[in-house]
Amino acid sequence: MELKTMKQEYTISLFTEDHIGILGQITIILTRRQINIDSFTASESAVKGVYLLTIVVKTTDEMIQKVARQMEKLIDVLKVFVHTDDQIIYQEIALFKVTTNGLMSGNVIDHIVRAHNAKILEVSPEYMVIEKTGHKTEIAELLNQLEPFGLLQFAKSGRVAITKQVKELNSYLKEMDEANRFKTEPTLN
Amino acid sequence: MHMKTETETGQAILQVNGQMHITGAEAILECLIEEGVDTIFGYPGGAIMPVYDKLMDYEDRLRHILTRHEQGAAHAAQAYAMVTGRPGICFATSGPGATNLVTGIANAFLDSVPVVFITAQVVSNLIGTDAFQETDIIGVSMPVTKWNCQIKKSQDIPEKIAKAFYIAKSGRPGPVLIDITKDAQLEKLNFKYKKCEYIRSYNPHIPIHTKAIESAAIMINHAERPLILAGHGVLISGAEDELREFAEKTGIPVASTLLGLSGFPSDHRLFTGMLGMHGNYGPNLLTNEADLIIAIGMRFDDRVTGNLKKYAKQATIIHIEIDEAEINKNVTVDVEINNDAKEALRYLIPLVNKNSFEKWIREFRICDKTEYEKVIKPETKPEKGELRMGEVVACVSELTKGEAIIVTDVGQNQMYAARYYKFTHPNSLVTSGGMGTMGFGLPAGIGAKIGRPDKPVITFVGDGGIQMTIQELGTILQYKVAVKIIVLNNNYLGMVRQWQNMFFDKRYASTELVNPDFVMISRAYGIPAKKVSKREDLSDSLEEMLNTDGPYLLEIVIEKEGNVFPMVEPGSSVSEIRLTY
């Protein structure tokens, strides 16, 4: 298949002002083009007052470029970056609630937790809560291993990502600022 | 320190430390005045009553045009903006008032026209309770506005309105909507207005892409069969002179999109006509022969490109476009110039060589000749049979010498008006392009005439379209709007019938109309009217219409089953354009 038409995973890092309705505007852009959101995380960014939305979608290279431009066009959006998995450091966090009985027999629990670099957060006579931070596939592996022991609950966060690029948001903001700040008011004709 | 001052209206307004202490409703009106507004189109209702009440005190500075439906107000405001170059203003109340605007908002959005919509909202503590006439217009209008916001505190009014104007006018213009709760309209604030000149997250002033323009210049200087595609962006950025200078210096022929019409004189030797589905033969056919396409302020709409897979594959494409999201959206281009059309052309002109392409232009003229014989002559100079839309428009064009502002509805009337009127002045065509909104013509004619009272304004509507907004005849009556209405009546929804004729085995499903007597309706509204059906009466009737002071409606009986040609059929390539069926 041609690279242009091949679907793959993209992480959108979208920096925005704190404006009510921005989530709606972003989802409209995606749903209108029938793009499903695999994961969505909102948080503060390193720049005060600027929020970072991390959105993971599966689509084609051509479509992701168009979508990114549509998002950047939104008035309250500061900057949109699109990355493939190799361009970012990313993590997801998962919490597992399992029956204590199932795991307590022998060294099974200790073995699984250590092997997966997971962490036990709480133990009670009925259940225990295990935390795992990692990639989706790693979390899925642990999920597979824990399931036979009686999984009571499972919850996973969206992706958070840090980009490997050298140029940070602040320098983009500065460039935009210089281009726009001291212009006279635009006129139509 | 408190003191009383007299305003221009003679009304006493309390000032606190040099700031006016006024209600939110007054603040809205003061903001409009600060932005140079003098005309508002709108319709009152419960939630917006505080604003309308204060409007009475501002009568000498703000003229309000009461339409007969909110959709009419929206279209009128858009047309006003298109002919004046200033944002149109439109008021509506909450709930149905606001939702009735939606077609008009979407229409302005697709055609990049700055309109500031102000809707009222129910009292803020009732929001979310499904209160009487409560609609989430912010949610509803989100996909069809450039920006929108809700105001619940009167103190936020000046800043948000300033922002709205800045966003509507700058960059690629578009409609914005501000939803203001009734309590915010009633609450007092210390008013101070400052125009918005900067928004951190929004950068409409794009630094000139010198490298890209320089490469474009090299390509232009080496091209053998170049073609300019001029869009609405030329008019919006006011680049008509630059486009002309660029075309004349390089000798490159110019084709125009529907909304780009009037951005380049129709009678210019380099003008090759309109692009697209019902555009001219030459520019469509030769798009697929050009070696270089210079697209300026246009977005390669599907009605322009036809089948994308067979569109200009042989050509190198340069795209000058202010909206980055439009570049590489439909057509992949070779040189991206993400700039304002006027600024880009100004930088480009000194870099290009003086040139001429007489041989290439001759190919367009050969096409023109073919089109004239096969289509234009039978359309504009028929000797027998019933009247045709083409001859009507051609006659209007001749009588007005291109000096009129032409407004259209949507469908066959629109395509004929665009094809056969000779546009000579910028912004002399007001039409619904992207959205194709039937019912646009009549209210848009009102807005255009109010915006340009010095110009004759002629609106072409079909018998279908006029009935979608026919109530606006009441607006014409009330404000004596001297718009001339030409109803091209074929007792059909002509364009849909044409498609049924061509693509649905002539099965005319729900396209035939049993119509009222338009002349009687018009006269009932106090608008002089006449019906004409004979060729020998056409010119005189049109002249009588043009010479009548005030509004006038002329119903012209048109042959029932006329089809617009040429046509690029859906799914066809522009080079497969048909002259006949």
Higher pLDDT, B456 or A20: B456
Question: Which pLDDT does position B542 carry in this prediction?
Answer: 98
Residues B86, B82: Cα–Cα separation, whole Å: 8
pLDDT at B5 over 50: no
Please state which CATH class domain B2-191 belongs to: alpha beta
**Is B203's Cβ below 8 Å from some Cβ in A?**
yes
Question: Which pLDDT does position A99 carry in this prediction?
Answer: 87
pLDDT at B4 over 60: no
Strand B484-489: give its sheet, edge to edge: B429-430, B405-408, B457-462, B484-489, B552-557, B529-532
Inter-chain residue contact A179 with B206, CB threshold 8 Å: yes
pLDDT at B3 over 90: no
- Beta-carbon contacts of B549 under 8 Å, excluding residues fewer than 6 positions away, are B482
Average pLDDT (B221-227) is 98
Average pLDDT (B270-275) is 98
pLDDT at B9 over 70: no
- pTM score: 0.94
Neighbouring C-beta atoms of residue B464, cutoff 10 Å: 26
Inter-chain residue contact A188 with B86, CB threshold 8 Å: yes
Please state which of the ranges A65-79, A149-163, B249-263, B560-574 shows the lowest mean pLDDT: A149-163
Percent of chain B exceeding pLDDT 70 equals: 97
- Per CATH, domain B381-573 is 3.20.20.220: no
User: What are the tens digits of pLDDT across the range B500-538?
Assistant: 999 999 999 999 999 999 999 999 999 999 999 999 999
Residue ranges and CATH numbers for the domains of chain A are: 3-88 (3.30.70.260), 91-160 (3.30.70.1150)
Residues B88, B113: Cα–Cα separation, whole Å: 9
**b/e map A41-78, b = 16+ CB within 10 Å:** eeeeeeeeebbbbbbbbebbbebbbbbbbbbbbbbbbb
Average pLDDT (B78-96) is 98
B162: region left, alpha or beta (phi > 0 left; psi from -120 to 50 alpha):
alpha
Helix (H, G, I), strand (E, B) or coil at B149: strand
Mean pLDDT, chain B, as a whole number? Answer: 96
Task: Report residue B573: phi and psi, to 5°.
Answer: -85, 155
Query: Looking at this protein, which amino acid is placed at residue A188?
Result: L
Q: Is residue B133 annotated as part of the catalytic site, yes or no?
A: yes
Is residue A78 within 8 A of residue A173, CB to CB? The reply is: yes
Candidates B132, B214, B224, B381; catalytic one: B132
HSE, CB side, 13 Å, CA atoms: give it for residue B263. Answer: 33
Q: At what angle do helices B210-222 and B341-348 cross, to 10 degrees?
A: 60
CATH node for B210-363? 3.40.50.1220
User: What are the tens digits of pLDDT across the range B373-431?
Assistant: 999 999 999 999 999 999 999 999 999 999 999 999 999 999 999 999 999 999 999 99
- Mutation to test the A interface, candidates B112, B200, B208, B452, most A Cβ within 10 Å: B200
**Is B127's Cβ below 8 Å from some Cβ in A?**
no
- The residue of chain B with its CA nearest to that of A15 is B201
CATH 3.40.50.970 range(s) for chain B read: 2-191, 381-573
Please state which of the ranges B201-210, B302-311, B402-411 shows the lowest mean pLDDT: B201-210
pLDDT at B2 over 50: no
Q: Is residue B70 annotated as part of the catalytic site, yes or no?
A: yes
**Is A49's Cβ below 8 Å from some Cβ in B?**
no
Residues B563, B498: Cα–Cα separation, whole Å: 6
DSSP character string of B379-437: HHS--SSS--HHHHHHHHHHHHTT-SEEEE-SSHHHHHHHHHS---STT-EE---SS--
Inter-chain residue contact A186 with B171, CB threshold 8 Å: yes
pLDDT at B206 over 60: yes
Q: Which residues of A are less than 8 Å from B236 in CB distance?
A: 188
**b/e map B112-130, b = 16+ CB within 10 Å:** bbbbbbbbbbbbbebbeee
Candidates B169, B182, B342, B449; catalytic one: B182
**Is A28's Cβ below 8 Å from some Cβ in B?**
yes
- Beta-carbon contacts of B241 under 8 Å, excluding residues fewer than 6 positions away, are none
Helix (H, G, I), strand (E, B) or coil at B299: coil
Is residue B90 within 8 A of residue B118, CB to CB? The reply is: yes
User: What are the tens digits of pLDDT across the range A15-48?
Assistant: 999 888 899 999 999 999 999 999 999 999 988 8
* Closest CB to B203 among A70, A76, A179: A179
Residues A119, B512: Cα–Cα separation, whole Å: 74
**Is A173's Cβ below 8 Å from some Cβ in B?**
yes
ipTM of this complex: 0.91
Question: Which pLDDT does position A67 carry in this prediction?
Answer: 97
pLDDT at B10 over 60: no
**Joined tokens for residue B472:** 């606006």
* pLDDT tens, per residue, chain A with 189 residues: 455 678 999 999 999 998 888 999 999 999 999 999 999 999 999 888 999 999 999 999 999 999 999 999 999 999 999 999 999 999 999 999 998 876 666 677 788 899 999 999 998 888 999 999 999 999 999 999 999 888 999 999 999 999 887 778 888 888 877 777 655 444 444
Q: Is residue B160 annotated as part of the catalytic site, yes or no?
A: no
